[in-house]
Amino acid sequence: MAKTKVLERKPLSFAEKTFLPQIVTGLKTTFSSMLQKGVTLQYPEERPTIPDNYRGVPTLVKDPNGREKCVSCQLCEFVCPPKAIRITPGAIDAEAEPERAHVEKAPQEFDINMLRCIYCGLCQEVCPEEAIFLQDIFSLSGYSREEMINNKQKLYELGGTLPDKHFKWDKKKAAEATGNAH
Amino acid sequence: MEFLDASLPYIMPIVYAILMISVFMGLCSYSVLAERKVSSWIQGRVGPNRTRLPLIGHLPIVGNLMTGLGLFQPVADGLKFLFKEEIVPGHVNKGYYYLAPVVALAPALTTMVVLPFGRYVDAEGIIQPLVLANVDLGMLIILGISSLGVYGVVLAGWSSNSKYPFLGGVRASAQMISYELAMGLALLPVFMWSASPGYYNEAGIFVEGSRYGMSLFGVVQSQQAAWTILWQPLSALLFLVALFAETNRLPFDMAESETDLVGGFHTEYGCFKFGLFFVAEYAHIIMGSGIFVLLFLGGWNFLPWMADPWGTGILGSVLSVAWFMAKVFFMIFFFIWMRWTLPRFRYDQVMSLGWKVLLPLAVANLVFNTIIIALYDTLTR
C-alpha cells in the first residue's frame, strides 16, 4: 500500500497575502514574453517545412529519361480503400517509343478523385513500378467537384520526375547489347 | 462679420466639443487595436496585420509598416459592425434592448467634458487648464456620471430576456456598487492634501482658502513637486483596483466572463449595438486611465522633482498634452498587460475583496490621512 505523503503547507506571509509581489512577478513574466519573438507562421507567404515521407496529394512521376513509369497494372485502383483512383489502360504510342510499345502498357486515363482520397498512401505502397507517390502538397482547393478530380496530365504536372535508381529500360538495353537478354 | 464675431463665443465651444469627441472616439478605436496587438504579442502571436487601405497602404515603406502594425484595422472593424446583418432576437424587450447600448455609451463619453488634458499660459501669465468645462468638483461629475454606465449594462442584461445576460447584468450592478465606495474613499485623501486650507501668494502673504478649489486641475498643479502615487501609494493602489473593477476589466470582468456567462450582458447583441458596448468599455478604460494619470501620476507634469520643461507658447501646451497622452497610453497598456497576467476572480472573491479588504482599507487610509493633515496644520500654523 502506497504511503500518502502529506505536504506541509506554510502559512502565507503578509506580503504573500496581499498578492502584490506575486502580481509584480506575473507582470514581469508577461512582459518578458511580450519581448520574445512570435511563433506565428505567416501562412500563405511562409510555408512550413514538410518532412520527408509526408503523405500529401498522390501524384504520378516519370523516370529520369522522361518515360511514363506507370504500366497501368491497376493495382492501386484495386487497393484504394475509398475507390478514388480510376484507370483506363491503354497502349504505348508505337511511334514515340518503339522499343517499349507492345512490351508494356500505359494508362490512357488516370483519374484520382481528391474528394474521395484519404491520403492513406496504399497506392504508393502497392505500386510495383514506383510510379505513384504521395508528395508534399498539403493544401488543395477548387470551385467545383470536377475540378477536384486530378486527371493524368495534372497528375504528371504535380509529380514531375523523381530520381530513380532502377533505370529499368537502360538496364534492359545494356543487357541486350551484351547478349544477355532474358 | 459682426454677426460672426457675435456668434463666435457660441460656435467655438461646439467646435472644441466636436474636436474632442473625434479625438476620443479615435482613441477608443485605437485602444481596441492596442488590445488586440498587445494581447497577441504577449501570447507570442502577430495580431492583425493584413488590412490595407488603398493609397496610404501602398506607400513605399510606411504603408507596409502601418499595415504590419494593423493601423488600418479599426476602419475595417467599424465597417464590419456597420454593415453586418442586424439580428434582433425575438424574445427581447425591444425598447430597452435598443436603449441599452446608448445608455452605456453616453455616460462614458459625457465625463470627458470635465477632464483636463493639458495646460496653457494665458495673457496674464497664469497657468490655465485645457479642458472643455473647467468646473470645480469635476471629479464628482466624473464619479457620478461614469457610474451611470452600469444602467446600460443592467438594462442590456434585463431586456435580453435570457439567463446569461441577466446574470451578467446582476453581477455588474453588484460589483459596481461594491467598488464605487472604495473608489470614492480612496480619492478623498488626494483631494484633502491638494486642496490645502490656505497658501502663500506671490507676495508671501498667507491667503485663507484653496487656490484651485477641488478641481482636477488643482490636483495636477499640486503634484508639480512629487506625484501623488509616490507619497500616497495606498490610495493609488486602492483606486487602481477599484478602477479595474469599475471598468469591468480582468481580473474583475464578472459581467462578461466568457467561461461561465457566454458573453455576459451583451450575449444577445450583434453588429453595431455590440460595437457601441465595445466602444463604451474602452471609453471607460481611457477615462479611467486619464483620471488615474491626473490624480496619481502627475498629469502633464514632467517628472517628479523636475520643473516642467514645457514653454509658455502654443508649443508648450502641445507638449504638455503630448506628455499627458503618453502617460494615458501607458495606463491603457497597463490595463491590457494586467489582463493577460491575472486570472479572473471568482464572483464571491470579488465581493469579499471589495467589502472586506478594500473598503476597510480605504476608510483606514482616510482616517489616517485626516489625522496627519490635522496634525500638520496645527503644528505648522
pLDDT tens digits, residue range B302-337?
777 777 777 777 787 888 888 889 999 999 999 999
pLDDT value, residue A143: 93
pLDDT value, residue B200: 63
> Annotated binding residue at A123?
yes
pTM of the model: 0.81
> Annotated binding residue at A134?
no
Extended strands (E) in B109-187: 118-121, 127-130
Rounded CA gap, A159 and A51, in Å? 17
Residue B250 in contact with partner chain A when CB distance is under 8 A: no
Residue B95 in contact with partner chain A when CB distance is under 8 A: no
Pull the grid cell for residue B356: 472586506
What ipTM was estimated for this complex? 0.78
Q: To the nearest whole angstrom, how far is the Cα of B44 from the nearest Cα of chain A?
A: 4
Structural element, H or E, at residue B380:
helix B359-380
Burial class of residue A43 (count of CB atoms within 10 Å of its CB; 0-12, 13-18, 19+)? exposed
Please name the residues in contact with B298: beta carbons below 8 A apart, sequence gap of 6 or more. Answer: B220, B223, B224, B227, B228, B304, B327
According to DSSP, the residues that pair with A86 across neighbouring strands are: A111
Q: If you measure CA to CA, which chain A residue comes closest to B50?
A: A42
Cis peptide upstream of residue B251 (ω within 30 degrees of 0): yes
DSSP state of B354: I
Return per-residue pLDDT of chain A as tens, 182 residues: 778 888 888 888 888 888 888 889 999 999 998 888 878 888 888 888 888 889 999 999 988 888 888 888 999 999 999 999 999 998 888 888 787 778 888 899 999 999 999 999 999 999 988 889 998 888 888 899 999 999 888 899 888 888 777 777 778 778 878 877 66
**Residue numbers of chain B with a pLDDT score lower than 50:** none
pLDDT value, residue B114: 85
**Number of Cβ atoms within 10 Å of the Cβ of B270:** 16
> Annotated binding residue at A92?
no
The beta-carbon neighbor of A30 closest among B40, B46, B341 is: B341
Residue B170 in contact with partner chain A when CB distance is under 8 A: no
Structural element, H or E, at residue B178:
helix B163-194
| Mutation target among B37, B40, B43 for the A interface, most CBs of A within 10 A | B43
Structural element, H or E, at residue B26:
helix B2-42
* Cβ <8 Å between A26 and B342: yes
| Mutation target among B340, B349, B356 for the A interface, most CBs of A within 10 A | B340
Rounded CA gap, A156 and A134, in Å? 12
pLDDT value, residue B208: 66
